[in-house]
A and B are shown apart, each in its own frame.
Chain A
């Protein structure tokens, strides 16, 4: 039984189509990433899952049943725009939000204290929200969505605006929750974060689903045609004929190989060429990153999109003529 199921959902605001024919499912015990650039319809989709807005057509099912407000007691929601009462003490605020989620004041207080300890912000409990830093407010908001021990956790851009240490802390917390069997859905436009965390993803662009499936499936659909190389010395080998495009960084390069049936061999040939003129300290052959897949997919669906990769220069040098 899927925890969340969107079926051909469509939502139109006055003149703008926010979501068009969107379908995906979130299975129990998985971490689901909803990806897309800004304004692609992530927040609109999430709002329909928690009943803030209603789809114009299509259906949303939660816990195997068509959406009803009863389900909300089992959902934890972290909105994109953080919302807390500025003048209210943190503990009072958490108790208030907990009670709205049908737990008693004492249970809410107990949970609030436990979570604050876990996220290392116990000192904030007796302060007013307006006296807290932005990162601390976000942690409080994060805690507020988890107080009632929800079975489904929906988070809109949970890591935006956090420093790496705190972002890692929240990611670890989410992973723990998934191990406890909770279903977690979060949206982000930072695709690099998703690769490590998610079991399943859905990529959306301008309200439409571009790609969805398990992380492994999606990656296996793409050939291992990316090379990350770190080197010292002459960089002429970068113009090897198997190279389709490249991005240069100081002492490093990211290379995309030309499509060919003998990709693995091409990679080896490239490495050999590199070793002739430079000292290679790191060499890795991988699938394209999610970001690259996304850009590729978007380019396919709308050709007017401009290529983001650099054009390759004229090849020169010895082994490059092969």
Chain B
């Protein structure tokens, strides 16, 4: 144990003094804020207007349509402002597009010209309105768009048109405009979650930031462990070390030392973030703040440490098996792939942390640290699920460390050639 401590202490104190540590400590939050700001910026850009030409001989109809669309959009903005939250989910109204209608009179050549304009990008689509053939029946509408446009555009148009026609018919039957308006008033559903956080969006944002931090740090420091082992192999220092201490102690010291550095870095970030928590952060007009409970922070560290141990042990084995950074690159998919799967699933699991997919995956050890953390923070996992995931992950960490220390013992002494799978299996039997 004494030697483990000496090795860990060296790793920690040498690494914390490097410029690399300082740079990543500052740079990663900057990148993340930039990333968040960038996606919000792109989101706002997506709000740009969609130009649609409405071809109709009935000018009143197109004017009404224009007015109706504008009214709908105003209402939406108003309700957004009332909700006072930034919608992050893709289906949120933020991502709907403002539709601008140009009225055009039909003439025999119009159709061909419209197709041309559509191709040249003058319009994003055109709506061809054929007047009703008989009184009492409705006109027919044909919407032509370039490629597969957003389906929301068609839906918006359809609902606007039907309201225009409804209003027209109501007015025809002698109903006063104001009364017609109240009949047509759309139903508003105010959503309310029985969630632990009053502010679901902020909680999701905070958790996904921590999720990203965990993903980055585990990957970064896992690779650091592997790289530092390769470094010791190429500098041959391990031979000096092996002449006094056990390979297991070397490996444990390295994983603990590098991991403590990772914890230090995360600690610095969280402290900085909690200092910022008082002052709410404003992003693109929407209001977001860090919404974390103490339990979330504690679980973050528990799952972070488990995740780090899991992946760092794998990385240590990869480092012991390879002789150069290049060889490591070829093998590091074992490390990156499961993490990447979690990262890719983040979007869909964030809104459905208790779905079957989330429940199953969170119990599988490579995914547990990130996904169970997500469930604990945002969903309602059963206590036995959390306990089982902790047991399974801890057990698999022990198994991996057992295998890794054997690979390490022989792997560090093998240089010159990369071992084959049968050789690795023989190593496991041998030691």
Contacts and interface: CB of A to CB of B under 8 A. Distances in A.
Interface of A: 50-53, 69, 72-73, 75, 77, 79, 81-88, 96-97, 99-101, 141, 144
A77 B237 CA distance: 12
The CB with the most chain A CB atoms within 10 A, among B3, B6, B7, B232, is that of B6
Given A69-B246, A87-B14, A101-B244, A96 B236 contact: no
A79 B232 CA distance: 14
B238 A83 contact: yes
A83 B14 contact: no
The CB with the most chain A CB atoms within 10 A, among B6, B239, B245, is that of B239
Given A75-B243, A87-B14, A88-B14, A100 B235 contact: no
B10 interface: yes
A79 B239 contact: yes
A144 B241 CA distance: 11
A72 B235 contact: no
A85 B15 CA distance: 12
Contact of B235 (A50, A53, A73, A83): A83
A99 B6 contact: yes
Given A77-B243, A79-B239, 16 more contacts: A52-B413, A53-B413, A73-B244, A79-B243, A82-B236, A83-B232, A83-B235, A83-B236, A83-B237, A83-B238, A84-B235, A84-B240, A87-B14, A96-B6, A100-B241, A101-B244
Interface footprint category on B = 20 to 34
Contacts of A87: 14, 18
A50 B239 CA distance: 10
A144 B14 contact: no
A85 B18 CA distance: 14
A83 B244 contact: no
The CB with the most chain B CB atoms within 10 A, among A51, A53, A87, A100, is that of A100
Interface in B228-281: 232, 235-246
A81 B241 contact: no
Contact of B239 (A52, A72, A86): A52
Contacts of B244: 72-73, 100-101
A138 to B, nearest CB: 13
B406 to A, nearest CB: 14
B14 A85 contact: yes
Contact of B3 (A77, A82, A100): A100
Given A50-B243, A72-B243, A79 B413 contact: no
Interface in B1-59: 3, 6-7, 10, 14, 18
Nearest to B6: A99
A176 to B, nearest CB: 23
Which secondary structure characterizes the binding site on chain A? loop
B3 A83 contact: no
A86 B6 contact: no
Given A52-B413, A99-B6, A84 B237 contact: yes
Interface string B307-343: 0000000000000000000000000000000000000
Contacts of B243: 50-52, 72, 75, 77, 79
A34 to B, nearest CB: 16
Contact of A52 (B14, B237, B242): B242
B245 A100 contact: yes
A83 B239 contact: yes
The CB with the most chain B CB atoms within 10 A, among A51, A75, A81, A88, is that of A81
A26 to B, nearest CB: 17
The CB with the most chain A CB atoms within 10 A, among B14, B236, B243, is that of B243
Contacts of B7: 100
A50 B413 CA distance: 14
Contacts of A75: 243
9 contacts: A52-B243, A75-B243, A77-B243, A83-B235, A83-B236, A83-B238, A84-B235, A100-B6, A100-B244
B237 A85 contact: yes
A79 B236 contact: yes
A77 B236 CA distance: 13
B420 to A, nearest CB: 11
B214 to A, nearest CB: 28
Given A69-B246, A72-B243, A100-B244, A81 B236 contact: yes
Contacts of A79: 236, 239-240, 243
The CB with the most chain A CB atoms within 10 A, among B10, B14, B240, is that of B240
- Which A-B residue pairs are the 10 nearest by beta carbons? A83-B236, A83-B237, A81-B236, A77-B243, A79-B239, A83-B240, A50-B243, A100-B244, A52-B242, A99-B6
B239 A81 contact: yes
A73 B244 CA distance: 7
B242 A97 contact: no
Contacts of A97: 240
B240 A77 contact: yes
A77 B238 CA distance: 12
A64 B344 CA distance: 61
A85 B7 CA distance: 13
A223 B6 CA distance: 56
B413 A86 contact: no
The CB with the most chain A CB atoms within 10 A, among B7, B244, B245, is that of B244
Nearest to B13: A92
A88 B10 CA distance: 10
A92 to B, nearest CB: 8
A227 to B, nearest CB: 45
A98 B238 CA distance: 15
Contacts of A81: 236, 239
Interface string B114-133: 00000000000000000000
The CB with the most chain B CB atoms within 10 A, among A53, A75, A96, is that of A96
A183 to B, nearest CB: 16
A83 B235 CA distance: 5
A77 B245 CA distance: 13
Nearest to B245: A100
A69 B241 CA distance: 13
The CB with the most chain B CB atoms within 10 A, among A53, A72, A97, is that of A97
Contact of A85 (B3, B235, B242): B235
A141 B243 CA distance: 13
Nearest to A130: B235
B323 to A, nearest CB: 13
B417 to A, nearest CB: 10
A33 to B, nearest CB: 20
